[in-house]
Amino acid sequence: MRIILLLSSCLLISTGILNAQNKSIAESLGYPANAKLLILHADDLGVAHSENRASMSALDKNAVSSASIMVPCPWFPEIAAYASGNPGKDLGVHLTITSEWKHYKWGPVTSRDSVSSLTNKDGYFYSSVDSVATLGSAAEVEIELRNQVKKAFRSGVDVTHLDVHMGAAASTSEFVKAYLKVGREFHLPVLMDKRIHAIEDPGIRSLLDDRTIVLDKLYMEEPEDYKKGPKEFYTQVIRNMEPGLNCLLVHLAHDDEEMQGVTKEHPDYGATWRQADFDFVTSKECADLLKENNIKLVTWRELRDKIVRAE
């Protein structure tokens, strides 16, 4: 079965999930039950120096509240060093089992013989989600996801959460189980929205409990939004945000030679796109909009420590 739970535009209505103590998530974090909470989240850290520079700058300015890291990528050590030097920053693992760009590639952190269903003849991850969903063994996905999390911890990242690059590690029900299982092992919240409850697979249901964090709404700019104008898209998202736990995923980089090279022949989520995201989230306009709409930026660390790992 081919499903992508986590990275499509979000149509679900907030219902106010309750946690173990029958408090809403907002109350568990110390906010009124009807607060509008937002994890403003940068994806793809580690993929390139340009992405790292822009994302570290946005984290330093508190323009985003959280971010996640692609552990198999060449520039991971730069972000691991940043994480060690900035232990207060909210950094998770952006679990990665694809290598999607044309001229710039990476492969698994696990020795390839142990996860051979996840790589092509050159030892790289497949470019597309379709390929890994079709050819990848769920057992090997689980090994690779676990090793990415282990490597992040070992490298000095106090991992606050897990999420999935391109939705690949949640693209089949078996992969979803691996994703949830690895989150449980490390007592980490994993990004998902409420569609998870619509899945009847007993294996998946058995991995959900009253400490499971489920977003009310997940937002991410899609190509059609970008065409209409990124600023318009983000402005509408913020103005129309409802009470509950919201997450907005952004992709931050500079429109420079490196990022143009990485994203060659792929304008969607390309260098100009990422520069526009950076410009928006670091703008006074964005800060003012969040304030005017009474939106509280929260972190996965709060969710991890006050709910998932609550005594």
Q: Which of residues 145-184 bind its own copies (CB under 8 A)?
A: 151, 154-155
C-beta of residue 25 within 8 angstroms of C-beta of residue 303: yes
Smallest separation (angstroms) from its own copies to the CB of 75: 6
Within 8 A by CB and 6+ apart from 294, the residues are: 36
Smallest separation (angstroms) from its own copies to the CB of 47: 10
Smallest separation (angstroms) from its own copies to the CB of 82: 9
Nearer to its own copies, 77 or 267 (CB): 77
Q: Which of residues 42-81 bind its own copies (CB under 8 A)?
A: 49-50, 52-53, 74-78, 81
Nearer to its own copies, 28 or 50 (CB): 50
Report how far residue 91's alpha carbon sits from residue 142's, in angstroms, rounded to the nearest whole number: 21
Report how far residue 290's alpha carbon sits from residue 56's, in angstroms, rounded to the nearest whole number: 21
Nearer to its own copies, 16 or 74 (CB): 74
Q: Which of residues 176-235 bind its own copies (CB under 8 A)?
A: none
DSSP alpha helix (H) spans, the chain: 25-28, 49-60, 76-85, 129-135, 138-154, 173-185, 202-205, 223-228, 230-239, 257-262, 271-281, 284-292, 300-303
Phi, psi of 243, rounded to the nearest 5 degrees = -60, 150
Nearer to its own copies, 49 or 306 (CB): 49
The answer to whether residue 257 forms part of the interface with its own copies (CB under 8 A) is: yes
Within 8 A by CB and 6+ apart from 279, the residues are: none
Q: Which of residues 88-107 bind its own copies (CB under 8 A)?
A: 102-106
CA dist 108 → 119, 152, 176 (Å): 8, 13, 18
* Tokens, residue 248: 């907005």
Nearer to its own copies, 8 or 114 (CB): 114
Q: If binding means CB under 8 A, how many residues of this protein chain bind its own copies?
A: 32
Report how far residue 107's alpha carbon sits from residue 72's, in angstroms, rounded to the nearest whole number: 6
Nearer to its own copies, 32 or 123 (CB): 123
Smallest separation (angstroms) from its own copies to the CB of 213: 30
C-beta of residue 79 within 8 angstroms of C-beta of residue 57: no
Contact residue for its own copies among 30, 32, 87, 123 (CB under 8 A): 123
Contact residue for its own copies among 217, 254, 301, 304 (CB under 8 A): 254
Tell me which residues touch its own copies (CB under 8 A): 49-50, 52-53, 74-78, 81, 102-106, 109, 111-114, 121-123, 151, 154-155, 254, 256-258, 261-262
